[in-house]
Amino acid sequence: MATIMVPTLDQILKGTKVHRNWSVAQLLEAAISRDEGKLTNTGALRVATGKYTGRSPQDKFIVKEPSIAGKIAWGNVNQPFDPDKFMKLYHDVLDYLSNKELFVFDGFAGADERYSLPITVVNELAWQNLFAHQLFIRPQPKEPLHDVEPSFTILSAPGFKATPSIHGTRSETFIIISYEQRMILIGGTEYAGEMKKGIFSVMNTLLPEKKILSMHCAANIGQKGDVALFFGLSGTGKTTLSADLNRRLIGDDEHGWSQEGVFNIEGGCYAKCINLTAESEPQIFNSIRYGAVVENVVMNENTREPDYSDKSLTENTRVAYPIEHMNDAVIPGVAGNPNTILFLTADAFGVLPPISKLTKEQAMYHFLPGYTSKLAGTERGITKPEATFSTCFGAPFLPLRASVYAKLLGEKIDKQHTNVYLVNTGWSGGPYVVGKRMNLSLTRKLITAAITGELDKYDFHPDPIFGLLIPAFCPGVPANVLNPRDTWGNHDAYDIQALKLRHRFEMNFENLEMNDPAVHEIFGH
């Protein structure tokens, strides 16, 4: 029986049905003609991603190859994948794509050209290639990137369904990174965020080897050149709070911190838009125009007006747009060393202060466990806020041990004398259901006061349970809001809930030290 030869990726990309580096207009036309989406009343492309409306972390793997095996923090997050199974799956995906119309984007990750990673994104869906065009860094017209060997390739084939018994996957869905093949293989899911976070995971492996801290954070800069970083998991407010009319946006989600300063890893923004209004978030709202991609938002078929309050498809409604859509964004996204760091945590227990100042030791203590809540829709199976610990505020995307990132952060805080604050964007006055979500306008005032140094004019007092330094006053913020205990009707109930959370911190830290002995070195014991 004759052996059927599967074409190589290079051979496939030289086919007549391959569209390379198409413009936004061409990709929009293709997506609409192929019935992949429809235009909204502002000219954005509205698409639906089917049953996968968030990341699928249990289906994400890293190929366990000799060159990388000793570096990865293997476990439930970084799951190992067999190299032979990967090659079998890779060739089956190539066979699947060999006769399809394909869309290819060549660009970069990393706005600082000294540390940028050339990438190629191959899609079977035109709208997903538009997403890649808007989210990654677009080359200048003079740069013919298709003539350059890419450092990493994303191969996205959502129509291909894996067979676990043959391919070694957990389900039909897979997101697999191979460092030796320089490849991210994605199939079985149309959720475009897997491409974005796949490259972020790669950068989180490569950048620390160059003594660059890779960070799951937003960044902006003030008129005086002061830089602020906003760490936090999806839904904690990175995009919203970094979009400040009085400051210029560097980036909303992924950054590197080198010796020279910070730089955006991306060329666009991927904002949650559930309950979005022009009044509450004007910069994001006004960015949803021609070229933007709106995911899983319910739209009136006649008026083509999106209903951002409708969560019938998912609470994880999203919009992707190039950073140029933001007024006065920093392009390229490169700036100096940060003056202020803000750890954003959506506290589902409702016991953390809306803002508190951290010593360097407290900063490291809160950075390592990364306490927050997973919010509804951001991952498969999450239907309500769930208190969780996500190391370095980005565990799903950090392949290396937590101590690697924490040591780099500690060294940089020391060198730059950076101020660090913990900000609760979650609940106050009680836990989730009982309490209320923190008021966005008050959170903005607190953050502005921290960044500008206004908070330093007032006294701080330590919280008796967590030891956090709470400001006694902040202009425009009611005094009773600053101390979370005062927002609870029953102080004894607050104390019980706060002690529960403190115990969870202690237990989590014990697990961190057990799994990563280098954590001891960070605190000198």
Q: 456-514: per-residue pLDDT in tens? A: 999 999 999 999 999 999 999 999 999 999 999 999 999 999 999 999 899 888 888 87
Phi-psi region of 296 (alpha: psi -120 to 50; beta: other; left: phi over 0): left
By CB atoms closer than 10 A (0-12, 13-18, 19+), residue 288 is buried
Residue 3 has pLDDT above 70, yes or no: no
The answer to whether the beta carbons of residues 296 and 313 sit under 8 Å apart is: yes
**Residue 239 has what pLDDT?**
87
**Residue 378 has what pLDDT?**
55
Residue with tokens 């039909």: 172
d(CA 208, CA 322): 26
**Residue 515 has what pLDDT?**
81
Q: Which of 239, 314, 356, 418 is catalytic?
A: 239
pLDDT band at 379 (very low <50, low <70, confident <90, very high): low
Q: 17-36: per-residue pLDDT in tens? A: 999 999 999 999 999 999 99
For 339-523, CATH gives 3.90.228.20
The backbone torsions φ and ψ at residue 234, rounded to the nearest 5 degrees and listed phi first, read -55, 130
Instruction: Please report, as a single letter, which amino acid is at residue 361.
Output: E
For the chain, which residues make up each domain, given as ranges?
9-50+59-210, 282-325, 339-523
pLDDT band at 381 (very low <50, low <70, confident <90, very high): low
Question: What does each C-alpha distance from 77 to 74, 202, 215, 289, 525 come to in angstroms?
Answer: 7, 14, 17, 36, 27
**Residue 189 has what pLDDT?**
98
**Residue 1 has what pLDDT?**
43
Residue 197 has pLDDT above 60, yes or no: yes
- Determine which of 5-19, 46-60, 88-102, 126-140 has the lowest per-residue pLDDT on average: 5-19
Is-catalytic flag, 84?
no
Of all residues in the chain, what percent carry a pLDDT higher than 90? 82
Q: Which of 46, 60, 138, 238 is catalytic?
A: 238
Residue 385 has pLDDT above 80, yes or no: no
Q: Where are the beta strands (DSSP E) in 381-459?
A: 386-389, 419-424, 427-428, 436-437
Question: What does each C-alpha distance from 430 to 425, 434, 457, 471, 494 come to in angstroms?
Answer: 13, 5, 30, 21, 7
Residue with tokens 């990493």: 152
**Residue 4 has what pLDDT?**
59
Residue 147 has pLDDT above 80, yes or no: no
- Determine which of 126-135, 145-154, 180-189, 191-200 has the lowest per-residue pLDDT on average: 145-154
d(CA 474, CA 496): 27
Question: Could you tell me which residue, 149 or 422, shows the higher pLDDT?
Answer: 422
**Residue 375 has what pLDDT?**
60
Is-catalytic flag, 234?
yes
Is-catalytic flag, 98?
no
Residue 234 has pLDDT above 80, yes or no: no
d(CA 211, CA 258): 7
Mean pLDDT on 53-68? 96
d(CA 437, CA 350): 9
Q: Which of 116, 120, 189, 234 is catalytic?
A: 234
Q: 355-367: per-residue pLDDT in tens? A: 999 998 899 989 9
Of all residues in the chain, what percent carry a pLDDT higher than 70? 94
Residue 97 has pLDDT above 80, yes or no: yes
**Residue 508 has what pLDDT?**
87
Q: 290-347: per-residue pLDDT in tens? A: 999 999 999 999 999 999 999 999 999 999 999 999 988 999 999 999 999 999 999 9
Is-catalytic flag, 238?
yes
- In 3D space, the residue among 403, 448, 395, 402 whose CA is nearest the CA of residue 423 turns out to be 448
Mean pLDDT on 192-207? 97
d(CA 133, CA 145): 13
d(CA 271, CA 294): 10
pLDDT band at 348 (very low <50, low <70, confident <90, very high): confident
pTM assigned to the model: 0.92
Q: How many C-beta atoms lie closer than 10 Å to residue 4's C-beta?
A: 6
Residue 7 has pLDDT above 90, yes or no: no
**Residue 490 has what pLDDT?**
95
- Give the residues across from 269 on adjacent strands: 321
**Residue 450 has what pLDDT?**
97
Is-catalytic flag, 197?
yes
Q: Per CATH, the architecture of 9-50+59-210 is what? A: 3-Layer(aba) Sandwich (3.40)
Whether cis (ω within 30° of 0) applies to the bond prior to 332 is yes
What is the fold, at CATH topology level, of the domain defined by 282-325?
Answer: Phosphoenolpyruvate Carboxykinase; domain 2 (2.170.8)
- Determine which of 2-16, 149-163, 252-266 has the lowest per-residue pLDDT on average: 2-16
**Residue 16 has what pLDDT?**
87
The answer to whether the beta carbons of residues 197 and 396 sit under 8 Å apart is: yes
Q: Which of 40, 46, 53, 55 is catalytic?
A: 55
The b/e string for 12-26 (b: 16+ C-beta within 10 A; e otherwise) is bbeeeeebbbbebee
Q: Which of 46, 197, 248, 401 is catalytic?
A: 197
Residue 520 has pLDDT above 90, yes or no: no
pLDDT band at 141 (very low <50, low <70, confident <90, very high): low
**What is the rounded average pLDDT for all residues in the chain?**
92
pLDDT band at 525 (very low <50, low <70, confident <90, very high): very low
The backbone torsions φ and ψ at residue 396, rounded to the nearest 5 degrees and listed phi first, read -60, -15
Residue 399 has pLDDT above 50, yes or no: yes
Q: 257-296: per-residue pLDDT in tens? A: 999 999 999 999 999 999 999 998 999 999 999 999 999 9
**Residue 376 has what pLDDT?**
55
d(CA 78, CA 63): 10
